[in-house]
């Protein structure tokens, strides 16, 4: 993969992968008659990942700045992080195994984009493992300085994950939603 499409450096799709996005820009998506139930659900899942990722970041910041007690933070944090990590991993597996093969077959011009998105999934999966390790260390850390160092380490790793995830979600939507609008869900076999 070229460096310009690496998740850490990407700033959107190059022109050759924007062919359908240019025809179906984001502002037409909500009212387009071909935006079916599957696409709407998928976009809602992406919004949930954005919202929950942001909530986890805000809660960690509140804790690090001393506005929330450790026990209260951990009680709120643990189930939400577990849900976030599990749902994100499952979401990407479904995309890789079920949806991306259909989308690749539908438009050869976009194959490179789906290859990039699958590569993103690999990198995000690795980041999820790192987040889980950092969160475990945070939950096991002794009070005081060790706990705050663990919170800082978790926050740094989490910020990297979320920055890449937000870029990935936007790019994934910019590739897939225009394809769905162009071909319809039944036309794509979803």
And the tokens for 88? 């994100």
pLDDT band for position 56 (50/70/90)?
very high
Q: Check residue 109 and give its pLDDT.
A: 95
Q: Check residue 16 and give its pLDDT.
A: 95
Residue 85 structural domain:
3-188
Average model confidence (pLDDT) for the chain?
A: 95
CATH of the domain at 100: 1.20.120
What Rg value do the Cα atoms of the chain yield, rounded?
19
Q: Check residue 1 and give its pLDDT.
A: 46
Q: What is the C-alpha separation between 103 and 105, in angstroms, rounded?
A: 5
Q: Is 172 helix (H, G, I), strand (E, B) or coil?
A: helix
Q: Check residue 8 and give its pLDDT.
A: 87
What are the pLDDT digits (tens) for 149-173?
999 999 999 999 999 999 999 999 9
144-182 b/e (C-beta count within 10 Å ≥ 16 → b) = eeebbebbebbbebbeebbebbebbbbbbbbbbbbbbbb
Across 66-95, average pLDDT: 95
pTM metric for this prediction: 0.92
Residue that is written with structure tokens 């690496």 in the block? 6
Q: Check residue 2 and give its pLDDT.
A: 54
Q: Is 66 helix (H, G, I), strand (E, B) or coil?
A: coil
Task: Evaluate if residue 4 carries a pLDDT over 90.
Answer: no
| Residue 25 half-sphere exposure toward CB, CA atoms < 13 A | 2
Q: Check residue 51 and give its pLDDT.
A: 98
- In Å, how far are 48, 50, 110 from 104, measured between CA atoms? 26, 26, 7
Domain count for the chain: 1
Q: Check residue 136 and give its pLDDT.
A: 96
């Amino acid at each position: 993969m070229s460096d310009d499409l690496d998740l850490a450096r990407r700033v959107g799709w190059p022109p050759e992968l924007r062919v359908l996005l240019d025809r179906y820009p984001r502002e037409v998506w909500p009212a387009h008659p071909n935006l079916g139930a599957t696409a709407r659900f998928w976009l809602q899942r992406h919004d949930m990942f954005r919202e929950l990722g942001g909530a986890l970041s805000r809660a960690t910041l509140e804790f690090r700045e001393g506005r929330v007690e450790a026990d209260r933070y951990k009680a709120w944090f643990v189930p939400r992080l577990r849900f976030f990590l599990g749902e994100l991993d499952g979401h990407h597996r479904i995309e890789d195994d079920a949806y991306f093969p259909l989308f690749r077959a539908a438009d050869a011009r976009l194959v490179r984009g789906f290859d990039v998105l699958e590569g993103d999934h690999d990198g995000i999966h690795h980041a999820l493992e790192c987040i889980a390790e950092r969160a475990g260390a945070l939950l096991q850390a002794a009070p005081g300085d060790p706990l705050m160092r663990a919170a800082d380490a978790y926050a740094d790793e989490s910020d990297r994950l979320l920055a890449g995830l937000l870029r990935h979600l936007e790019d994934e939507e910019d590739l897939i939603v225009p394809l769905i609008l162009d071909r319809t869900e039944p036309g794509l076999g979803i």
